[in-house]
């Protein structure tokens, strides 16, 4: 959670609790935040990934098995 100044957002933006906003960081990477609450001067945003805290189930299929290389065995991990 982070509180930001309302001035950091576009002045004509009509905020609603639960709405999603998109921003850019210093490396020009896009990210999404969720508006948790707001006042006339501040906005509380949730910067966690939308799936944070959710139980995720994955189904996988092993399609190939190979022997580890000598380098991988020496280092103890795959390359």
Tens-binned pLDDT, residue by residue, of the chain (79 aa)? 999 999 999 888 999 999 999 988 889 999 899 999 999 999 999 999 888 899 999 999 999 999 999 999 999 998 7
d(CA 70, CA 63): 22
pTM of full prediction above 0.75: no
How big is the CA angle at 72 (ends 67 and 77), to the nearest 5 degrees? 105
The two structure tokens encoding residue 18: 């639960």
Closest CA to 16 of 34, 42, 28: 34
- Using CA atoms, how far residue 50 sits from 13, 20, 53, 64, in Å, is 22, 10, 9, 33
What domains can you pick out in the chain, each with its CATH number?
Answer: 2-75 (2.40.10.330)
């Amino acid at each position: 959670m982070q509180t930001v100044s309302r001035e950091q957002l576009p002045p004509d933006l009509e905020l609603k609790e639960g709405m999603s906003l998109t921003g850019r960081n210093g490396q020009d990477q896009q990210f999404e935040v969720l508006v948790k609450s707001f006042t006339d001067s501040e906005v509380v945003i949730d910067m966690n990934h939308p799936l944070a805290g959710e139980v995720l189930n994955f189904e996988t299929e092993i399609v190939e098995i190979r022997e580890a290389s000598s380098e991988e065995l020496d280092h103890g991990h795959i390359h």
